[in-house]
Amino acid sequence: MSAKPVIGLLGGGQLGRMLCEAANILDFSVAILDEEKCPAKQVHQNDLHITGSFKDPEKIKQLAARCDVLTVEIEHVETTILEEIATKGVEVPSPDGNGTVLKKVPVHPSWKTIRLIQDKYQQKEYFAKQGIPVAEQVAIAEGSERLSSLRAAGDKFGYPFMLKGAKGSYDGRGNYKIDGPSDLETASSQMGDQPLYAEKWVPFEMELAVMVMRTEDSEGNFKAVHPYPVIETIHEDSICTKVLYPPRKVSDEIKKQAQKIASDVIASLWGRGVFAVEMFLTKDGRILVNEVAPRPHNSGHYTIEAVPQMSQFKAQIYSILDLVPRKGISLSPRVSSAIMLNILGGAKEDSHDRFVKLAEGSSDAFTDVYVHLYGKASKPGRKIGHITATGFSSVDQLASTVSPLIKCMDEIRL
């Protein structure tokens, strides 16, 4: 076995798969805890993988015992056990063959960061305390006081406002737009028995995101944050469908400000890694942080082809293993524009085939189109792949070049 550190990964979906693709090129081994045929294990074979759930404490310990560092592709993991592994250690056979010893395994990003981010309400309370601009929010009371608490939120914020589940949500699945008082009862029952919070509606002009690398030394002291360029994200039905680099009609001043805010947010957290900072840009030029993901993100997929010297997946490896050269790194795109489109499952299992065919035939002298499929079964609305188009023209020109692809995807997901 090589002397290179082994990376332990909780979750083996598409983000894990693309992390493994980056690890393959660099000859790093990744031990994955997830189902046997998950997307990541399909592209990275070794005898280190563990079959099971990334929420199962015993399996996480087994994984830690065979790794040098643990990281995640999803934030909805069991952090109590990650804290124990990082601070007390996990039992491994003693080198002298007599019994066991405790081995501490670093967790990156820190379990502390993952725990904070898991609760979207607490996450933003923390950011607000750090002086980071976020939308106003209030926690909703539980049990018999829930309805009156919801009404109070409506009185405070006016309508519409956004009701959100604090934990476990993704792709907007835990969000409910409340258009008026008559929605409150239905929303409350549809959201079920989970902690909720209300957020003031943000009539944003555009959504922006910045990926940020965070590094620390071996003692856990903060070293640096490295922001990628700002990109524009487009959500439809609360699911991210498109990403554009650079954002359209956004001044250099706003771009700089967004990178600064994203860097400040990530500097305020703990551990190494790559993070996504989702933001709203309002009509009057204000930037509000929506949420942070402590891992590679859909909005960073464009970096695979647009920032090939340091894709977000290579960045995850470089940051968690502290491989960033002292003189720094360049995260500048090597193209003028890039557009990422998610491939979402359609009505039939093969609905997206015609999109893939169209994408494969869309490269020309000025545009490159790259298809990524994740090895997942197709279901309506499920993210099963993405394409990235890159070019040397303006992003508006690139958008018009890929408009047949956008149209085709819109037809499939209807």
The site for ligand ATP (CB under 6 A) is made up of: 135, 162, 164, 169-175, 199, 201-202, 207, 235, 238, 278, 290-291
Are 287 and 261 contacting, i.e. CB atoms less than 8 angstroms apart?
yes
| Nearest distance in Å: CB 168, Mg ion | 10
| Nearest distance in Å: CB 165, Mg ion | 10
What's at 192, amino acid-wise? Answer: G
User: Which does residue 207 touch among ligand ATP, Mg ion, none (CB within 5 to 8 A, set by kind)?
Assistant: ligand ATP
Angle between helices 353-360 and 403-413 (to 10 degrees): 170
CA-wise closest residue to 47 among 68, 31, 27:
31
Q: 28 or 127: whose CB is closer to ligand ATP? A: 127
User: Which does residue 231 touch among ligand ATP, Mg ion, none (CB within 5 to 8 A, set by kind)?
Assistant: none
Q: 86 or 279: whose CB is closer to ligand ATP? A: 279
Q: 225 or 277: whose CB is closer to ligand ATP? A: 277
User: Which does residue 162 touch among ligand ATP, Mg ion, none (CB within 5 to 8 A, set by kind)?
Assistant: ligand ATP
CA-wise closest residue to 387 among 305, 292, 321, 313:
305
CA-wise closest residue to 301 among 370, 361, 400:
370
| Nearest distance in Å: CB 170, Mg ion | 5
The values of phi and psi at residue 184, to 5°, are -60, -45
| Nearest distance in Å: CB 137, Mg ion | 14
For the chain, the distance separating the N- and C-terminal CA atoms, rounded to the nearest angstrom, is 49
User: Which does residue 366 touch among ligand ATP, Mg ion, none (CB within 5 to 8 A, set by kind)?
Assistant: none
Q: 207 or 305: whose CB is closer to Mg ion? A: 207
**What are the start-end ranges of the H helices in 107-246?**
111-118, 120-129, 146-157, 184-191
Q: If you ran DSSP here, which 8-state letter would residue 356 be given?
A: H
User: Which does residue 202 touch among Mg ion, ligand ATP, none (CB within 5 to 8 A, set by kind)?
Assistant: ligand ATP
Q: 154 or 174: whose CB is closer to ligand ATP? A: 174
Q: 83 or 291: whose CB is closer to Mg ion? A: 291
| Nearest distance in Å: CB 97, Mg ion | 47
Per-residue x/- track, 269-308, Mg ion (CB under 5 A): ---------x------------x-----------------
User: Which does residue 215 touch among ligand ATP, Mg ion, none (CB within 5 to 8 A, set by kind)?
Assistant: none
| Nearest distance in Å: CB 321, Mg ion | 26
User: Which does residue 126 touch among Mg ion, ligand ATP, none (CB within 5 to 8 A, set by kind)?
Assistant: none
User: Which does residue 19 touch among ligand ATP, Mg ion, none (CB within 5 to 8 A, set by kind)?
Assistant: none
**Is 271 exposed, middle or buried, given 0-12, 13-18 or 19+ CB atoms closer than 10 A?**
buried
Q: Compute the distance between CA of residue 208 and CA of residue 202 in angstroms, rounded to an integer.
A: 13
| Nearest distance in Å: CB 175, ligand ATP | 5
Measure the CA dihedral 390/391/392/396, to 10°: -100
Q: 215 or 342: whose CB is closer to ligand ATP? A: 342
**What are the start-end ranges of the H helices in 268-342?**
303-306, 312-320
At 367, which helix (H) or strand (E)? Answer: strand 367-373
| Nearest distance in Å: CB 162, ligand ATP | 4
Q: 207 or 232: whose CB is closer to ligand ATP? A: 207
**Is 362 exposed, middle or buried, given 0-12, 13-18 or 19+ CB atoms closer than 10 A?**
middle
| Nearest distance in Å: CB 31, ligand ATP | 26
CA-wise closest residue to 135 among 171, 105, 164:
164
Are 269 and 275 contacting, i.e. CB atoms less than 8 angstroms apart?
yes
Q: Is the peptide bond before 95 cis (omega within 30 degrees of 0)?
A: no
Q: Compute the distance between CA of residue 317 and CA of residue 311 in angstroms, rounded to an integer.
A: 10
Q: 159 or 201: whose CB is closer to ligand ATP? A: 201
Interface residue list for Mg ion (CB under 5 A): 278, 291
